[in-house]
Amino acid sequence: MATGVANKMKAHFGEVIDVAIHLIDSPEAANYVLRAATTVFLNDAWVPLDIATSAGRMQEYIEQALASEGTHEGS
């Protein structure tokens, strides 16, 4: 479910975000203590599962993160 949401977010946001999907046993996951098969991060911050598995909630979450990044640019 989270993989499908990730693909929808990539389609929606295009080049504005970089989407990478890694399995729990991938080298990229080795630096984290993961307790669930579905774990989503945005800018190295863990995203709650109820957000990560909902396209609407995830879109809002990313939009807020992007808006927050925009307010910090040039600070």
Using alpha carbons, select from 55, 57, 45 the residue that is nearest to residue 2. 55
In angstroms, how far apart are the furthest CA atoms of the chain? 38
Does the pLDDT at position 31 exceed 70?
A: yes
Q: How far apart are CA 5 and CA 60, in angstroms?
A: 12
Token reading at 55? 């396209």
Q: What is the pLDDT of residues 13-22, one digit of tens each?
A: 998 988 888 8
Does the pLDDT at position 75 exceed 50?
A: no
Range of the domain at 19: 2-72
- Higher-pLDDT residue of 55 and 49 is 55
Amino acid at 64: Q
3-class SS of residue 31: coil
Tell me how crowded residue 20 is: count the other CB atoms within 10 A of its CB.
Answer: 9
Does the pLDDT at position 72 exceed 80?
A: no
Domain count, the chain: 1
Q: What is the pTM of this model?
A: 0.76
User: Stretch 29-43: mean pLDDT, rounded?
Assistant: 82
